[in-house]
Chain A
């Protein structure tokens, strides 16, 4: 029996889909059998990020409505034989499926896969309720912005109300230079406020945009910093203890300035 993880955020545009694609691909890379489920009915994107958009024949709605079996809707990844995608329907709406149907589907997938990763839509309405149904664990993605952290807090509350406890946090789009200048909240600041476990920090990285353009998750790019961050997250999910990327280190000048007593707090 595998484990189902929902990747959620509340706020849109913080990187849920990219995170789902990268964690999924990363887990597949180390040999786990992974199924990615796009729960964003009507606004599907995971297929494009994975570069699998031209293979879709059936989708999640076809499965829950009984038009086809799960197996015929699953799309095998180009790169890994043990990675599959269940795409969302593009021409339907969120209420075409309900939490009970989703829970049944996820439970079925868990029989066959080590990991079932569900990409949750933004918002806290029906789509969110569908996506968290059947999840064993929740990963919350946020960015170091007041609005995103506030929404993350709201989501944590809603997850608790749904008896999904101990979510883990990924802070995305960290800008070390801005942190050094004191113009961006640090992960410590956010953990301090949200009081949940930190799963990973992902730096803001141009290679993410390039990899999305190509439909190749950055986790496969050995040279990408964010790819490294996602590989670390994958190892932590697997139970390994991996130190967090040292993104917030002071540079030499700043350190020197602090040493001689100017530059104030860092």
Chain B
């Protein structure tokens, strides 16, 4: 009965929305996997930007695309050696 009411008032997610959401996630993963050079390029750009503000350990820098069931996240582990003094 509750389900029926929920349906009537449109609070349940329709299967097409599920489809679209799943598709969106799977494509983020696919596209990320498609270009192996992407993460490398991203790393370099990040280093360039971050270096303006702090000295980072480039060797230990880790960037990964982490996907769990319902989200994809860019996870970066950036060890900082020192923060530049503000001028």
Q: List A residues at the B interface (Cβ < 8 Å).
A: 144-146, 149-150, 153-154, 157, 179, 181-186, 189, 192-193, 262-265
Complex Cα gap A85–B30 (Å): 36
Complex Cα gap A262–B23 (Å): 29
3 residue pairs, one from A and one from B, having the closest CB atoms: A264-B10, A182-B14, A183-B15
- Please provide the chain B residues from 25 to 44 with a CB less than 8 Å away from any CB of chain A in the complex: 26-27, 30-31, 34
Option from B8, B15, B20, B23 in Cβ contact (under 8 Å) with A263: B8
Complex Cα gap A149–B11 (Å): 26
Complex Cα gap A264–B12 (Å): 10
Contact of A264 with B20 in the complex, beta carbons under 8 Å: no
CB-based nearest B residue for A148:
B23
Contact of A264 with B16 in the complex, beta carbons under 8 Å: no
CB-based nearest A residue for B11:
A264
A-B contact pairs, 28 of them (CB 8 A): A144-B19, A145-B19, A149-B23, A150-B26, A150-B30, A153-B27, A153-B31, A154-B34, A157-B31, A182-B14, A182-B15, A182-B17, A183-B14, A183-B15, A183-B16, A184-B16, A185-B16, A185-B19, A189-B16, A189-B19, A192-B20, A193-B24, A193-B27, A263-B8, A263-B10, A264-B10, A265-B10, A265-B14
Query: Which residues from A are CB-within-8-Å of B17?
Result: 182
Query: Which residues from B are CB-within-8-Å of A184?
Result: 16, 19
Complex Cα gap A85–B8 (Å): 53
Task: Report the number of A-B residue pairs with Cβ-Cβ less than 8 Å.
Answer: 54
B-side interface size class? 10 to 19
Query: Which residues from B are CB-within-8-Å of A183?
Result: 14-16
Contact of B19 with A146 in the complex, beta carbons under 8 Å: yes
Query: Which residues from B are CB-within-8-Å of A262?
Result: 8-10
Query: Which residues from B are CB-within-8-Å of A265?
Result: 10, 14
Query: Which residues from A are CB-within-8-Å of B26?
Result: 146, 150
Option from B9, B22, B27, B30 in Cβ contact (under 8 Å) with A264: B9
Query: Which residues from B are CB-within-8-Å of A144?
Result: 16, 19
Known: A150-B27, A264-B9. A157 touches B34 (CB 8 A): yes
Complex Cα gap A154–B10 (Å): 34
Contact of B20 with A193 in the complex, beta carbons under 8 Å: yes
Contact of B23 with A182 in the complex, beta carbons under 8 Å: no
CB distance from A182 to the nearest CB of B (A): 3
Contact of A153 with B8 in the complex, beta carbons under 8 Å: no
Complex Cα gap A184–B11 (Å): 17
CB-based nearest A residue for B12:
A264
